[in-house]
Chain A
Amino acid sequence: MSKLASRQVGMFIYLGVFLVIHIDIFSFLALTIFALLIITYILVIQVVLLRLLHGYQTKQEQKFFAVWEERIFNYLEGDEKPQTLIKKIRRGKYIYLLRYLREFFLMLKGDDFAKLSSLINETKLQPFLLSYLQSGSPRKINEAAYFLGLAKSEASKRLLRKKLRSENASVFLSSALALARLNDIDAVFDIFRNARHFKFISKDSLLAILSEYTDDVCKPLFQNLKREKNVLIQSITITLFRHFKFYQAGEMVLKIMVYSPSKDVIIESIKFFSTIELFEASTALRSLITHPKAEIRSEVLKALAVLGDESFEQRIWDRMYDSEYEVQYNAVITLMKIIPGSEEKISRFAYGNLKDRAAAIARMVLSERNIKN
């Protein structure tokens, strides 16, 4: 607790003790109720003011949309220059225009997108957003980063990279997302480095950002993976390789997986081999099918269903007696997918051993299959 806060708590305790000693209990209660009423009154006024402000802003926004909507449509449709359109709009209304364009940026591509981008990149909107980016307000920075990233504004790269060093998590995330949309490959390692300062930024949020890059990001990540020791970065990198189907990394990821103690890295590697159908990975999967961690055993079975190595037949049958339900389930599915004629064999097993747990799971898979068909 800060010094100021502890001093305030001390003052309240002193005041409380003073009141208890010097006034009777009824006056004390009356005073407490009065104080609570004042606090409630202030809160109600604050809520009303905020609602009024929000209502006013929404009205202004609607008014702007009503006036400008058709002009924006005409701009997207015709040959009007972006500068001509923006010249007609007051600077104070720029933010309404940007909010209006948000959906278009996300939903349109081709010529429409090029026109939208030039509205930001070739007009006064760009210096406006850059000034927002340089402001001290996280809200303004986030808003600017969002639009500059969407519009792929090259002029904003330098400032966005600086913002990656921000101690504010939302500023870091919005800047990283903008740089990814700008496909700024050089920034990818800064994103990794600076993400470590924020404990609550998850692997999934980093992946969501990094997958906004194009597949050009794979080559530098591939070079980095050779010497990368951090398992989180290894795992994110392999997931990105899977996302971009970066086949060249197959052999290297196989080497990393074989020696990795990390469950996450092993699982991501197996999924990657399955996606790129790397049949050479079968040998490595042989030892992992009995791995102590059930999630890994399950993932191996799912990968085998794609890679289809029939020499695994007995090992997969063995997994039908696994201690984990998910592994047993995937074993039945995989057998039916990769071993010709296995459905009949499984059916005999399923209905010939009514008290067996593995047979019960096999019956369930067969019923699911029948329903689907």
Chain B
Amino acid sequence: MSDKKTIIFAEDTVHIAKLLKFKLEKEGFNLIHFPSGVGVTEGVIKYKPDLVMLDIMMPVKDGLTVLKELKSNPSIANIPVILLTANSHEEYVVKGLQLGAIDYILKPFASAELMLRIKNILKMR
């Protein structure tokens, strides 16, 4: 099995997801992208990633619903979750943190800062 840390990233903005995949893979991570909240919980159960990043506003199934599912399943509840949300939806952050998210990033974001936060969280585990 490879030593690469795996990150699951649910984000409906495809180009941004591709950019982050490019950057994270260059840093030695393995990124699995989901274009919406659908299938994320199953993906987390299957791949047991080291970190999950969830966009809050997504079609069909939003990030907070996914977060609730993750935290209510004891086998995956300890996997850290970072939330991504637009500046204008800051109120959801409090709800996300109450639900068990470990950190949040407001959009627009600097990719360098996001990378640092990911690395710090993974280092602390």
Show the binding face of A for B, using Cβ within 8 Å.
Answer: 69-70, 73, 76-77, 100, 103-104, 106-113
Our pick among B15, B26, B110 for the contact of A77 (Cβ within 8 Å) is B26
Are A69 and B18 touching (Cβ within 8 A)?
A: yes
Interface string of B16-33 (1 = CB under 8 A from A): 101100110010000000
Our pick among A70, A77, A103, A109 for the contact of B109 (Cβ within 8 Å) is A109
**Which residues of B have CB within 8 Å of A100?**
15
Are A73 and B19 touching (Cβ within 8 A)?
A: yes
**Which residues of B have CB within 8 Å of A108?**
16, 108-111
**Which residues of B have CB within 8 Å of A69?**
18
Q: Which of B39-80 contact A (CB under 8 A)?
A: none
Our pick among A103, A106, A112 for the contact of B111 (Cβ within 8 Å) is A112
| 8 A-B residue pairs with CB within 8 Å | A73-B18, A104-B16, A106-B107, A107-B108, A107-B109, A111-B112, A112-B111, A112-B112
**Which residues of B have CB within 8 Å of A111?**
110, 112
**Which residues of A have CB within 8 Å of B16?**
103-104, 107-108
Main secondary structure of the interface of B (DSSP, over half): helix
**Which residues of A have CB within 8 Å of B107?**
106-107
**Which residues of B have CB within 8 Å of A103?**
13, 15-16
Give the distance to chain A from B107, nearest Cβ to Cβ, in Å.
5
- Bound-state Cα–Cα, A276 to B112, Å: 35
- Bound-state Cα–Cα, A76 to B111, Å: 10
Are A77 and B23 touching (Cβ within 8 A)?
A: yes
Are B19 and A76 touching (Cβ within 8 A)?
A: yes
- Name the CB-closest residue of A to B26: A77
- Name the CB-closest residue of A to B13: A103
Are B19 and A104 touching (Cβ within 8 A)?
A: yes
Give the distance to chain B from A65, nearest Cβ to Cβ, in Å.
8
**Which residues of B have CB within 8 Å of A110?**
109-113
The 4 nearest A-B residue pairs measured at CB: A110-B110, A109-B108, A73-B22, A103-B15
Show the binding face of B for A, using Cβ within 8 Å.
Answer: 13, 15-16, 18-19, 22-23, 26, 107-113
- Bound-state Cα–Cα, A70 to B21, Å: 11
Are A109 and B26 touching (Cβ within 8 A)?
A: no
- Bound-state Cα–Cα, A111 to B18, Å: 18
Are A113 and B112 touching (Cβ within 8 A)?
A: no
- Bound-state Cα–Cα, A259 to B55, Å: 47
Give the distance to chain B from A204, nearest Cβ to Cβ, in Å.
14
**Which residues of A have CB within 8 Å of B26?**
77
Give the distance to chain A from B91, nearest Cβ to Cβ, in Å.
15
Our pick among A70, A73, A106, A112 for the contact of B110 (Cβ within 8 Å) is A112
- Name the CB-closest residue of B to A112: B111
- Bound-state Cα–Cα, A296 to B107, Å: 35
Give the distance to chain B from A121, nearest Cβ to Cβ, in Å.
18
- Bound-state Cα–Cα, A103 to B18, Å: 12
Are B19 and A109 touching (Cβ within 8 A)?
A: no
Give the distance to chain A from B67, nearest Cβ to Cβ, in Å.
20
- Name the CB-closest residue of B to A101: B15
Q: A73-B19, A108-B109, A108-B111 are in contact. List 12 more A-B contacts (CB 8 A).
A: A76-B19, A77-B22, A77-B23, A103-B16, A104-B15, A106-B108, A107-B16, A107-B107, A107-B109, A110-B112, A111-B112, A113-B108
- Bound-state Cα–Cα, A95 to B109, Å: 25
**Which residues of A have CB within 8 Å of B109?**
107-110
- Bound-state Cα–Cα, A148 to B42, Å: 43
- Bound-state Cα–Cα, A69 to B18, Å: 9
Give the distance to chain B from A67, nearest Cβ to Cβ, in Å.
14
- Name the CB-closest residue of B to A110: B110
- Bound-state Cα–Cα, A70 to B113, Å: 21
- Bound-state Cα–Cα, A104 to B113, Å: 16
Give the distance to chain A from B59, nearest Cβ to Cβ, in Å.
15
- Name the CB-closest residue of B to A74: B22
Interface-central residue, A69, A107, A108, by most chain B CB under 10 Å: A107
- Bound-state Cα–Cα, A364 to B11, Å: 39
- Bound-state Cα–Cα, A106 to B19, Å: 14
**Which residues of A have CB within 8 Å of B112?**
110-112
